[in-house]
Amino acid sequence: MKARVTVTLKSGVLDPQGKAIEGALKALGIDGVAKVRQGKVFDIELDAGDQAAAQRQLSQACEKLLANTIVEDYAVAYE
Amino acid sequence: MKARVTVTLKSGVLDPQGKAIEGALKALGIDGVAKVRQGKVFDIELDAGDQAAAQRQLSQACEKLLANTIVEDYAVAYE
């Protein structure tokens, strides 16, 4: 089973990397970009037999390692 | 207009960060994870009036800054 976990900063949390990308895009002459926020994506292959087991494993993985839930949100999509 | 750009390593390109995450998940006792590959995600707000202009700006941004198209693929999704 394949899943994609997307980890993004919670709204309100400053994103200096996103700001730097905005600046770099303007410097490159690419106009019309109002705001950029960066996040991470994890493409995960699971051995889990059923979706319930996969969900349990992935939420554990997100809470313990992939996302810092104080400042980040995560979303899981199954393929 | 909002868009999400997802940048992932092309298949075949080594991903040591993904390998490290696999190892860390096993060390945390989270079994059943066969493979992890890490990528980046950019949530972008555009001032572009129409979707054609947005697409032009975003593909420029991806080619010039957001993705290294030698080793990375990118996908754009509009919200």
Reading the block at residue B6, the tokens are: 């997802």
Question: Residue A43 and residue B39: Cβ atoms within 8 Å?
Answer: yes
One-letter amino acid for residue A44 of the chain: I
Domain boundaries, chain B: 2-78
What is the 8-class DSSP label of residue A10?
Answer: P
Which residues of B sit within 8 Å Cβ distance of A? 6, 8, 18, 21, 24-25, 28, 30-48, 53-54, 57, 60-61, 64-66
Rounded-to-integer distance, Cα B23 and Cα B49, Å = 46
Question: Residue B43 and residue A6: Cβ atoms within 8 Å?
Answer: no
Residue in the structure block whose two tokens are 């899943």: A3
First vs last C-alpha separation in chain B: 7
Confidence of residue B18 (pLDDT cuts 50, 70, 90): very high
Kindly report the CATH number that applies to the domain delimited by A2-78.
3.30.1280.10
Mean local confidence (pLDDT), A48-53? 84
What's the pLDDT score for residue A79?
Answer: 83
Chosen from A9, A10, A33, A45 to mutate, greatest number of chain B CBs within 10 A:
A33
pLDDT in tens, A9-42: 999 999 999 999 999 999 999 988 999 999 999 9
Reading the block at residue B22, the tokens are: 């696999």
pLDDT in tens, A52-70: 888 999 999 999 999 999 9
pLDDT in tens, B21-67: 999 999 999 988 999 999 999 999 998 778 888 899 999 999 999 99
Give me the sheet containing B72-78, strands edge to edge.
Answer: A72-78, A2-9, A33-46, B33-46, B2-9, B72-78
How close is the nearest chain A Cα to the Cα of B72, in Å? 13
The two most distant CA atoms of chain A are separated, in Å, by 50
Q: Pick from B37, B40, B61: which is nearest to A33 by CB?
A: B61
